[in-house]
Amino acid sequence: MTALSLQADCSRCAALCCVVLAFDRGEMFAFDKPACEPCRHLAADGCQVHADRKPLGFRGCIAFDCAGAGQYVTQVMFGGRSWRDDPDLARPMGEAFATMLAVHAQLGHLHQSRSLSLPDEMQQRLCELERALQPAAGWTLEDVRAGRAEKAVAEVRAFLASLRPFVATRS
């Protein structure tokens, strides 16, 4: 099993969140940005307003956490390549990032659920699902396009929904 890091490392990512994700002007962002278009503040060496994001109206950028999906897509799925060097990579990297965001988020939820008092069979299922989200060979773009990663995510969501009674009894 290839363990996924749930800790974002922007230094190993091709600034995917600043390109792939769309945002709307409002409380969290100062202007509209369509999906798959680089933010106007993004330069070759990163965000040009990084230290001033809050006063400039980009609290959404501060709050966002890809949980490690960005560097996974950049380093593991695309071998360190970037849309900056090859614009044709922008679309496939965007596809991969959208799916890997969900994979990383659901893996984080599973890790948190380990602290619940679950029956043995559910603990076992939880471990199975953690393994399914971290295939030994790693995720590939082909897996994403074939829907295999989304299928794994859907199974985790269904399992997490079944944990509600255990969450309620904990508090």
Residues found near ligand SF4 in the complex (CB under 6 A): 18, 39, 41-42, 47, 49, 53, 58, 61
Query: Residue 56 Cβ, how far from ligand SF4 at the closest point, in Å?
Result: 7
Closest C-alpha among 8, 130, 117 to residue 66: 8
* Nearest-angstrom CA–CA distance, 156 and 151: 9
Pick 49 or 153: Cβ nearer ligand SF4: 49
Query: Residue 21 Cβ, how far from ligand SF4 at the closest point, in Å?
Result: 8
Pick 49 or 126: Cβ nearer ligand SF4: 49
Query: Residue 61 Cβ, how far from ligand SF4 at the closest point, in Å?
Result: 3
Pick 31 or 162: Cβ nearer ligand SF4: 31
Pick 39 or 149: Cβ nearer ligand SF4: 39
Pick 10 or 122: Cβ nearer ligand SF4: 10
Closest C-alpha among 112, 109, 99 to residue 139: 99
Query: Residue 153 Cβ, how far from ligand SF4 at the closest point, in Å?
Result: 25
* Nearest-angstrom CA–CA distance, 119 and 111: 16
Beta strand extents in the chain (DSSP E only)? 42-43, 46-47
Query: Residue 60 Cβ, how far from ligand SF4 at the closest point, in Å?
Result: 7
